[in-house]
Amino acid sequence: MANVSLQHVYKVYQNADGKISPNAKPAVSDFCMEIEDKEFIVFVGPSGCGKSTTLRMIAGLEEITDGEIYIDGKLINDVEPKDRDIAMVFQNYALYPHMTVYDNMAFSLRLRKVDDIKRAKDGTPILDEAGNTIPIKRKYTKAEIDEKVQEAARILAIEEYLGRKPKALSGGQRQRVALGRTIVRQPKVFLLDEPLSNLDAKLRAAMRSEIIKLHDKLGATFIYVTHDQVEAMTMGTRIVVMKDGFVQQIGAPQHLYDSPANVFVAGFIGTPQMNFFDGHITPDGVITFANNQRVVLPKHVLQSFDLDKIGSGLDIVMGIRPGDLKLVNEPVADGGVSARVSVIEALGNETIIYADMDKDSDFSLDRTPTTITASVKVRNNPARKDEIYLAFDLECIHLFDKATELTLKK
């Protein structure tokens, strides 16, 4: 398999006249990353962030405006897509409707040629005058194609569907066929562009597990694009979070969850979304926020932040994940808040509480500076408009510089 290197890659789209406007905003800006052999990398971000554009540049389906891309140490900027030894799975499957599953999977092999040496009819190599073998390119034999298709079908558990046409398959089965079509080619890199977005929630969860198992079986390099942070968290060995064409942070899923680099990453990774409050912190760790609510950070927690930046006091954005709030029976001085419940989502294994720290709130649909969300495990759920007390896990508080939105963690 292979490693992939992206070095200062840019993509700026041309105007209708074929020229790039001097004021054009890049779709991808200064993308730099080293992807190791056999990694499962996930590009994640909102629509328009540049994740699919980056994938298409790796595939050769989009021209690179600037920068360099290497696969296995070979510069591929000007290499045709068919010669990059990659395989791509699309969102819409892209199966030939008039062909059977077998023929869809075998199609690329029937067109592709493989390196070999010239042989006599009995299979012995033919040598040139210098005694060397003569390299040639030949088509795959029927037996070789059948072996590869049957092996891929066995891996994906679709052997019984080989004689069917795509219209006779479910969405999940079609997606397996699309994956099978890439497996038979044994490419260096697998590129997957939102392959599960057309499936229902239950099937999507099942296919996530199948793709993870497939990656383990093949031992290949996977680059996967999605807008769904749950897919990113559960599938990737590393995640690339993108926004407006820029890489915001690269890291292992748990690292991004525990140590987001900025407000955007903190809000994008994690469900329900992190609570954010504009506030102010003093040098001794007193944080005031949301209509003069107050928490005081223990000394060891305060030491984990950049005290030089906090200085004599700093305007901040304070973040706390809903799962780091605990429902308690009485007010917690300097470590919690009271709020009135606006919405309850009882999910069985957990309850998501939407509340407002402003007791006079009219519970409008808009999120306000005093809105707070908690994810708790309780059997007796509070009722709408009940007053509740929430305790903060102070060791899990995130602080960001309000001016730059960058984390204050050391």
Residues 34-49 have a mean pLDDT of 96
Class of residue 71 by CB neighbours under 10 A (exposed 0-12, middle 13-18, buried 19+): buried
SS (H, E, C) 66-108: EEEEEECCEECCCCCHHHCCEEEECCCCCCCCCCCHHHHHHHH
- Residue 263 domain flag: yes
- Residue 193 domain flag: yes
CA distance linking residue 224 with residue 35, whole number of Å: 12
Same domain, 231 and 298: no
DSSP character string of 128-166: -TTS-B-EEEEEPPHHHHHHHHHHHHHHHT-GGGTTS-G
CA distance linking residue 410 with residue 396, whole number of Å: 14
Same domain, 213 and 258: yes
Q: What is the pLDDT of residues 254-290, one digit of tens each?
A: 999 999 999 999 999 999 999 999 999 999 999 999 9
Same domain, 328 and 395: yes
CA distance linking residue 370 with residue 388, whole number of Å: 14
pTM metric for this prediction: 0.88
- Residue 75 domain flag: yes
Same domain, 257 and 289: no
Cα three-residue angle 386-392-395, rounded to 5 degrees = 170
Q: List strands edge to edge, sheet with 221-226.
A: 86-89, 189-193, 221-226, 40-44, 238-243, 246-251
Q: What is the pLDDT of residues 89-135, one digit of tens each?
A: 888 888 999 999 999 999 989 988 888 888 888 888 888 888 899 89
CATH code of the domain containing 222: 3.40.50.300
State whether residue 219 is helix, strand or coil: coil
Total structural domains within the chain: 2
The predicted pLDDT at position 156 comes to 86
Same domain, 287 and 368: yes
- Reading the block at residue 325, the tokens are 């709030």
Question: What beta strand segments (E) does 171-245 contain?
Answer: 189-193, 221-226, 238-243
